[in-house]
Amino acid sequence: MRVLIYTGKGGVGKTSIAAATAVHLSRMGRKTLIMSTDMAHSLADALETELGNEIRQVCPGLDALELDPNAEGRRAWGSLRDYLRQIISDRANGGLAADEALLFPGLEELFSLLRILDVLDGGNYDALLVDCAPTGETLSLLRYPERLSVLADRLLPSVRSVTKAFGGLISRKTTVPKPRDEVFAEFDRLVKRLSRLQELLRDRDTADLRLVMTPERIVLEEARRSFSWLTAFDFGVDAVYLNRLYPEEALRGAFQGWMELQRESLRLARESFPGQKLFTLPLQDRELRGLESLADAARQLYGDSDPSQVYCRENAFRLEDRMGTRDFILRVPYIAPEDLSVSQEGCDLILRMRNETRQFRLPEQVCRRRVSGWEWRAGELFVHMDYD
């Protein structure tokens, strides 16, 4: 099964592009499911059908659903959430404060993405398309599995040991209840499922992210920054879409200046994503809504080709030997050198890009080496690794 995740700045038309692609695949004979994890669902509007948290057939070969993040959150961490809420309620005298304290930005939507694993295990579909949140939220949620894995590996064993030895005493002396074994077990299961999801999303043969843009410079710049971030986290981006291109005949006269800006945007998109497939869709003369309208847009995008194919398999990093030094080379396009910093903690490489932090588990070939320096050249970060 192919998993295609569509994201982009809010309002660029990612739902329409994803829905058009799903309709196209279903009409090619591919059993297709499209689901929305965006809190502000609009997939039902695009397909002109009622959708909810359970799978519903839209037409032969095409199913859809709009996930309820709250319901998916309860499925993913109900016992753990109840335990944390009990602790907070004791301190906050219950009420709204306890629920507000358990709101972690992006986490509920991440739990919605766990449904991908259920669909994959079910084996009922050839393609799964995900209409994801706007880019910033998507980037936030994709880093949670890595952070939770660190928490599970380093902190949870200690907490479990202390609880086993002193949990009863702590409960008697304080208002903090002793966590039940099922709380730890649920957290273990959650971390394992999130880790599996992350591995799946990094498998270029199975999953790819696709960025949707419009030909405005602000939108393009955000897409370029998002592409750098996704590359650093080793998520595959195999295609980009430039949506709502104005016909040149509509831009003559008073809007002549927009024609040049649009041409410049096209040039920048081709140069910014040279390894990715670039799709363009003109501004339509009607709203992209309903199966026939979506199918017509898909024909303009894809013709008779299969949009579930893998267009690009670029890897995030590579290793090279140079005169006794082994370089860990990471692609970080569109990031200025002054916005980068590199450090090391054991076998982890810590990369900071502006206000984002990436923690790499170094491959075995360089795990026993130490960072001796780094340099940025032509969109790539060269981290020099030497023995002590």
Q: Indicate which CATH number applies to the domain containing 16.
A: 3.40.50.300
Tell me what pLDDT residue 59 has: 96
Distances (CA, A) of 259 to 9, 18, 31, 248, 328: 22, 27, 40, 6, 43
Give the torsion sign (CA, 331, 316, 110, 51). Answer: positive
Distance CA 91, CA 97 (A): 10
Could you tell me whether strands 237-245 and 277-282 are parallel, antiparallel, or unpaired per DSSP bridges? parallel
List the CATH number of the domain containing 336.
Answer: 2.60.40.790
> Which of 144-160 are b and which e, b meaning 16 or more Cβ less than 10 Å from the residue's Cβ?
bbbebbeebeeeeeeeb
Same domain, 370 and 268: no
> 16-38 pLDDT, tens per residue?
999 999 999 999 999 999 999 88
Lowest-confidence pick of 62-66, 135-139, 381-385: 135-139
- What share of the chain in percent tops pLDDT 90? 40
Q: Which one has a higher pLDDT value, 98 or 13?
A: 13
Same domain, 118 and 189: yes
Residue at which a domain ends, from 314, 339, 358: 314
Which range has the top average pLDDT, 113-117, 161-165, 193-197? 113-117
* Amino acid, single-letter form, for residue 67: L
Same domain, 50 and 167: yes
Same domain, 278 and 299: yes
* Amino acid, single-letter form, for residue 237: V
> 256-285 pLDDT, tens per residue?
888 888 989 999 898 888 889 999 999 998
Specify the number of domains making up the chain. 2
Range of the domain at 28: 1-314
Same domain, 294 and 342: no
Predicted TM-score of the model (pTM): 0.78
Nearest in space to 216 (alpha carbons), one of 256, 246, 254, 249: 246
CB distance 225 to 252 below 8 Å? no
Distance CA 86, CA 278 (A): 50
Nearest in space to 384 (alpha carbons), one of 314, 316, 303, 329: 329
Tell me what pLDDT residue 155 has: 45
Lowest-confidence pick of 92-96, 196-200, 238-242: 92-96
Residue at which a domain ends, from 314, 332, 351: 314
Residue at which a domain ends, from 314, 345, 376: 314
Q: Which one-letter DSSP state was computed for residue 201? A: H
Report residue 136's pLDDT band, with 50, 70 and 90 as the boundaries: low
Same domain, 310 and 321: no
